Amino acid sequence: MEGPIVIAALTLIAVAVHHLIRKCSLPLPPCPPQTIIGGHYNIFPQQQAFLTFTRWARTYGPIFHLRLFNRYTIVLNSGKVALDLLESRSSIYSERPYSVFINKIQERSLSVFSMSLHHPRFRVYRKMMHSGLGPRAVQSYHPLQIQETNILLKALADTPKEFIPHLRRNAGALILKVTYGYEVSGNYDTFIQLVERAFKLQASIIGRPFPVEFFPFLRFLPSWFPFTEFKQAAEKLREVRPEEWPFQWSKRLIDSGEYVDSFVSRFLRPEDGKLPGDEDMDILKWCAAALYIGGADTTVSAMTSFVYLMVTNPEVQMRAQADIDQVTKGDRLPTPDDEAALPYITAVIKEILRWGPVVPLGLRHSVTQDDIYNGFRIPKGSTVIGNVWAMTHDPELYPDPERFNPDRHLGEDAQMDPFKFVFGFGRRVCPGSYLAERSLFLNIANILAVFSLGKETDGDGRVLEPPTEWYGGTTSHLKPFPCAIKLRVPNLLPP
């Protein structure tokens, strides 16, 4: 009996050794030229990395690697590769990469966005956020969404040149009311400014990783020492704690007994009367922050792109308006219930997010074990970046990708649904996608029902062409551009 057992054991060992040797003998995905010590550190793009990566993909293919000192980054530039790895193999590709700066220096390891897949809180976070962002919850937000859309319409009619602050107020007001029960005071409300400041600070430091990621001992050196710029960046970010201030405001209001129903109040004042403990309170704080941070900036990016694309594609705008007028008969504003009757508006939304993905590099993943893909080895612990921009501008998936064409999402021959890419992958898919889609539909349909968006002219009557320039960090925005927003159906403007 021992003989067969020994033979089986030796066979298993031989197979394992063969597999290991095969793994070690396989090459990494291709890469740009690198230096011996730093690898690609000095050429890692500091700004708008998605554009650089997309350009490199034309040379090095749909999957390439970058070496930053002793760490590997795998960049995925095709929808097929991303779905093959981040979706089909999500069990090993859904971890977040460890960051000394985020986890140790900023002490944000418990943030929803950087939480380890294996942390006991992960499932609790997802369940709690689904309760506040799922279809049933979002349906209950419809009256609030309509209220905020009406405020946006009136603001655009009064001061159309300030359309970006109006869009930011709209997104912030909705998510602050839903999350904390907070009523904003205007475009420059404290909590709206808080997220905008955090966004700008983040945009100024996102790019090439700080040296402390590769040489952790640097965090123990004084701030005047070379290569410790991360200390100044961390200090600035500590001044902006969007997870802390709104939560404490909401908690004080709820403790006073005078509050409106919100995501936070439902957990702090549950129907069974059981008050949360310290651990539950901390979980609630981080989940509320994820709603606030995730919803207050991303929608602004998409809505800014919408304005730009209507200005530069008047034929799309006119067709969308004709569809809206046919459904509403021109005597009422669109409501959430009209969405099914307005498939072209849904196609416009998909094309906006395809043309200008809000988070063009997604959020970073990490692979938890050695893997093989198309003859390439992907080492355990590698950071994996899904270049969403390259995927949504892939001419094989979207012919003539630079052209804004909502028709590509209609009919039996519709092209790949960009929602498969723009809201994340696998176990890390964005839990707020449903709320984002509903908010975009209501805002876009109502703006098109009431206004005409066109190109601005200068004092001499010359048309001002809006530039296509991007800025930002994790979230990407079009830089401010001139446009003319004029009333099309004045009688639809809310009183």
- The string of pLDDT tens digits covering residues 470-491 is 988 888 999 999 999 999 999 9
Q: Mean pLDDT check: name the lowest of 59-63, 337-341, 375-379, 473-477.
A: 473-477
Confidence of residue 12 (pLDDT cuts 50, 70, 90): very low
Express each pLDDT in 158-198 by its tens digit.
999 999 999 999 999 999 999 998 888 888 888 888 777 87
* 285 vs 17 pLDDT, higher one: 285
The pLDDT tens digits for 288-330 are: 988 888 888 899 999 999 999 999 999 999 999 999 999 999 8
Lowest mean pLDDT: which of 40-44, 141-145, 188-192? 188-192
Binding-site residues, please? 430
pLDDT of 7 > 50? The answer is: no
* HSE, side-chain direction, 13 A CA sphere, residue 220: 3
- Region 263-270 average pLDDT: 82
Q: Find where tokens 């997010």 sit.
A: 353
Q: What is the mean pLDDT of residues 216-245?
A: 85
pLDDT at 273: 61
Q: Identify the residue with better confidence: 485 or 18.
A: 485
Average pLDDT, the chain: 89
Indicate whether 23 pLDDT > 50.
Answer: no
- Asked if the model's pLDDT at residue 210 lies above 70, the reply is yes
In this prediction, residues 321-346 reach a mean pLDDT of 95
Residue 202 confidence class, pLDDT cut points 50, 70, 90: confident
Q: What is the mean pLDDT of residues 4-16?
A: 42
**pTM attached to this predicted model:** 0.90
Say what the pLDDT of residue 5 is.
45
- Tokens 């995905």 correspond to 29
pLDDT tens digit string along 375-427?
A: 999 999 999 999 999 999 999 999 999 999 999 999 999 999 999 999 999 88
Binding residue positions for heme: 430
Average pLDDT over residues 333-359: 97
